Amino acid sequence: MQNTLFSKGLNELNPGFDSKQIAPYHSYHVDGTTALKSEKLRVGCYCRVSSMSDMQEGSLENQTMYFTKLIRSNPSWHFVGVYSDRGKTGTKIEHRTGFQKMIRHALDGKIDLILCKSISRFARNVLSTIDTIRILTDSGVRVIFEKENIDTADLKSEFIITLLSAVSQEESRSISENINWSVSKRYGRGEAMFTRMLGYEKKSRYDWEIIESEANIVKEAFDLCLKGMSPAQIARAFIRNGYQKANGRSDWSGLAVRNILKNERYTGDALCQKTYTQDYLSHKSLVNTGQKSQYLISDHHEAIVDKEIFEKVQEVLMKRSKPATKGKGKRYPFSKRLICGMCGAHLQRFSCRGIVTWRCGNQTKSNNLCKMKGIREEKIIQAAMQAFYVRYQLTNGNDAISKMIKDLENTTSKMDFELNQLKLDLERVLFEENMAILKGDESSDTILDELSIKRKNIETKIKKKEQWWQLLDDDYKYREEALSLLKKISSMEKPISELKSNLMKTEFIRAWVINIKVVSPISFSIEWITGDQTNINLKGR
């Protein structure tokens, strides 16, 4: 009975697609020729939705369920896993971590066949689509697009894929233009788009209502500015007073206060289209300095600040302003990986006369937010080295290096196993829910309630784990570089000496270390890629 319903479910999802029609072999290139292997195909699938809406989330769940059942129901296939991206555009592949991970696994020889709902789910950029497919084809990996019934193993498929990719790209362009046109029309009708800001909440499509407690904070910011205080000084005063921002946090900054002081919406006016999207492929947002039409909607909503006061504040800010010299922020191996043990904020890097110091992001704003003192990078490296000595017993020569290599090599496979196990558990619960719905007797409601709780628990576990998996994915390049270096070091005459030398480098440390919690200037907690922790105390050193 279950098998019949299982097959029926697949046919209802897509009656025109039969997995048994796909040849049960995989190909690989040998000296320019293609050889056939009779073993099971290692098959994975790629699913993507472009927004985080409930409807789109449901679509992603349906794609995942469908392809998982499809692959598992074919005896000639071995299920590798589901690769997915939530709320990601199809025109840029560099920000799709699930897609990048799938390509990496394919090139590493872990996948023979990739299934995808359609070309538009794979990518909406012609060049990205063709380049990716060519790379996969050169590595002997096939891609099957179900909707278009295209298999990249067919020599004729590239022309069709190019054509359909162009259609998908054109569709993206058309959607982008339609959205921009619609937004412009709304501005032209005097309808400003609401974004949550301190002092206002939206009661209906047209009504912006003042939140008095927040409006008082806004008025105080303007008043203090006219009394001679800078945005940074106002921010520190707000932190001392315990004022909360629109997001509920109290970590005020000079920039946050300045944005309030320069926002004309507090006068009741709304200047629309201050920024614009450069193009539908890059999705880069730029400041509108005349490239697009702007719309000033006067007296759109009730004012918090008088226009005369607002203009005086702009004059004050103009006198204080300096030419912008700040370039693009540089990222370092320890960026976003050093955590303050007092407040949980990330540490920020400061360099003065060649000395690098890391300071708590909250403490740099105010001592009222955090009292953690800054710590030199050399102390952090010293703590990390001590942790390596404790964990890997570096005095044991090549045994230590072998263990370090093993941890690097096992990280990805362990992550994949955990992900696939949780998704398999979720798949089983979803299947049981479907069976209970089809059964439809008196006990079904009770069973569905129990299964719903079970499903939500698994989904919560997946969301929590996804943050950890994302950190591991971000460190992939560090692990690959360290792995290559370790293998060279292991063949040297004095491998431990060379290893210790490299442990002074932050990019080398990053390969094994996910986070370092700075509990105090002498106390640290190192979190490894395996999930284990090592506590280090440098007292007396």
Question: What is the per-residue pLDDT for 6?
Answer: 30
Q: Average pLDDT across each block of 10 residues of the chain; the chain has 541 residues. List them in order.
A: 33 45 43 48 87 54 82 88 73 71 89 89 75 87 88 73 64 66 70 85 81 94 94 93 91 92 90 71 69 80 92 90 62 93 93 92 90 93 93 79 90 78 79 74 74 84 81 89 90 85 92 94 93 87 48
The CATH class given to the 2-172 domain equals: alpha beta
**Distance of alpha carbon 155 from alpha carbon 158, whole angstroms:** 7
State the residue for tokens 């992900």.
419
Q: What is the largest CA-CA distance in the chain?
A: 81
Question: What is the per-residue pLDDT for 537?
Answer: 93
Domain boundaries, the chain: 2-172, 190-320, 381-537
**Distance of alpha carbon 248 from alpha carbon 357, whole angstroms:** 30
Question: What is the per-residue pLDDT for 236?
Answer: 92
Burial class (CB in 10 A: 0-12, 13-18, 19+), 301: buried
Contact 536, 386 (CB under 8 A): yes
Percent of the chain topping pLDDT 70? 78
Q: Output the CA–CA distances (angstroms, integers) from residue 122 to 287, 466, 503, in the order listed.
A: 31, 21, 40
pLDDT in tens, 295-345: 788 888 899 999 999 999 999 998 887 665 555 668 899 999 999 999 999
**Distance of alpha carbon 22 from alpha carbon 529, whole angstroms:** 39
Residue 541 has which token pair?
A: 């050193």
Neighbours of 478 (CB within 10 A): 20
Helix %, strand %, coil % for the chain, to 5? 50, 15, 35
Question: What is the per-residue pLDDT for 350?
Answer: 94
Question: What is the per-residue pLDDT for 62?
Answer: 80
CATH 3.30.1460.30 fits 190-320, yes or no: no
How crowded is the C-beta side of 38, counted as CA atoms within 13 Å? 0
Residue 473 has which token pair?
A: 């994915």
Instruction: Give which of 24, 42, 48 is closest to 79, Cα–Cα.
Output: 42
Burial class (CB in 10 A: 0-12, 13-18, 19+), 476: middle
Contact 372, 340 (CB under 8 A): yes
Q: Output the CA–CA distances (angstroms, integers) from residue 111 to 26, 27, 28, 115, in the order listed.
A: 10, 11, 12, 11
Question: What is the per-residue pLDDT for 159?
Answer: 66
